[in-house]
Copies of this chain bind each other. A is one copy, B any other.
Amino acid sequence: MDLDPSGHDAADPLAPFRDRFSPAPGVVAYLDGNSLGRPPAATAERIAAFVRDEWGARLIRGWDEGWWETPTTLGDRLGALALGAGPGQVVLADSTTVLLYKLARAAVAARPGRTEIVVDTRDFPTDRYLLGGIAAERGLTLRPITTDPAAGVTPSQIADVVGPSTALVSLSHVAYWSGWRADMEQITGIAHDAGALVLWDLSHSVGSVPLELDGWGADLAAGCSYKYLNGGPGAPAFAYARRDLLPSLNQPVQGWTGRRDPFAMAPGYDPEPGVRRLLSGTPPVLGLLPLTVSLEMLAEAGVDAVRAKSEKLTEYVIALVDARLAPFGVTIGSPRDVAHRGGHVTLRVPGARELVTGMQERGVIPDFREPDGIRIGPAPLSTSFTEVRDGLAVLEELLSAG
């Protein structure tokens, strides 16, 4: 691969999108789009307009003019655009942690008599912590699998551990550390053969890799909207539940928003038949506004074009590391095979924490991940090849300066 970025940028059909993001003065390279996506420039005004023209001018009437349905109207849009999910299966609400909790609780209740939850010991902490809590409170057992740190979960690992005791398998689709992309379709099939459900954390997938939840037979999924979806710091999350599972899913946080005919304020909880049964509290309408902007941009770009650029960006990261950084002891902690790779690449190098600090002081922003990871997450809509080259050049300078 050509190490000169100019040709890649010139050939990049998504290059014009980069100028549509809010400027970041002094930032030489933002390589952390997989942690917090940049805001489109239109986002600030979109929110301000909402505050003035909807919240401020429509006031309480807004609830009858679309706000109340935001979790599902926006959920359907996200589902169609980025999840491969037909309507009526996606909501936006809460945080990823809370939605994972609700889905996991509903899942184990839907598999009574089964006693095990399969969990990846290298999964993102929230997933591990919450499943540990659920196992303890429901009298279940965690069945841990330990994945290759530079790769991730394989179908054969799942085949080895699932069986008649398995209630739920909980996995990340793209691993937060290595960027490994799991084979959702095959793993789901293996779990289904054992009668188990699978819950996918899509936080590092959505908006970066194409997803076909319906097509792959997925059961349950949740994820974050502030990474590749540019939803803003701490934005609400999304949850997916396959339509035919919904009647059997009873999540424990029974609030008025998940109840049938909520404004009747009637006695007793009677969940909505549809996907709104996953909701609990009042829809976070204002917090979801940035997502409305970025979904429009994603629709314009197209998820396939996003993935095509992402593949090339991560390939370029690997080529630069091999050519320029390997001599300093930097190795690739991510899959080299693009078929197994998500949208980010983690470099492994001793002193990673200090190197990331040095990079940040020079306007280059990747992420440090314990113990020795420098995570490079170029966002296809906002990151150029030149930016990647400039960012890694700073790392090279730091390494060569010792």
Q: Which A residues contact B (CB, under 8 angstroms)?
A: 21-25, 27, 30, 32, 35-36, 38-39, 43-45, 47-49, 51-52, 55-57, 59-63, 67, 94-98, 101, 121, 124-126, 128-130, 132-134, 137, 224, 226, 232-237, 252-257, 259, 262-269, 280-288, 290, 360, 365, 367, 369-370
Contacts and interface: CB of A to CB of B under 8 A. Distances in A.
B280 A98 contact: yes
Contact of A61 (B47, B98, B256, B365): B365
Q: Which has the most chain B C-beta neighbours within 10 Å: A21, A237, A255, A370?
A: A255
Nearest to A224: B282
Contact of A280 (B97, B124, B254): B97
Contacts of A32: 59-60
Given A97-B280, A281-B97, A282-B95, A36 B59 contact: yes
Contact of A101 (B30, B38, B253): B253
Nearest to A253: B101
A51 B43 contact: yes
Contacts of A55: 22, 36, 38-39, 232-233
B44 A48 contact: yes
Nearest to A257: B97
A362 to B, nearest CB: 13
A59 B38 contact: yes
Q: Which has the most chain B C-beta neighbours within 10 Å: A236, A254, A267?
A: A254
Contacts of A39: 51-52, 55-56
Contacts of A262: 125
> Which 4 A-B residue pairs are closest in the complex by CB-CB distance?
A95-B281, A22-B56, A97-B255, A287-B287
Contact of A256 (B47, B125, B281): B125
Contacts of A101: 252-253, 255, 280
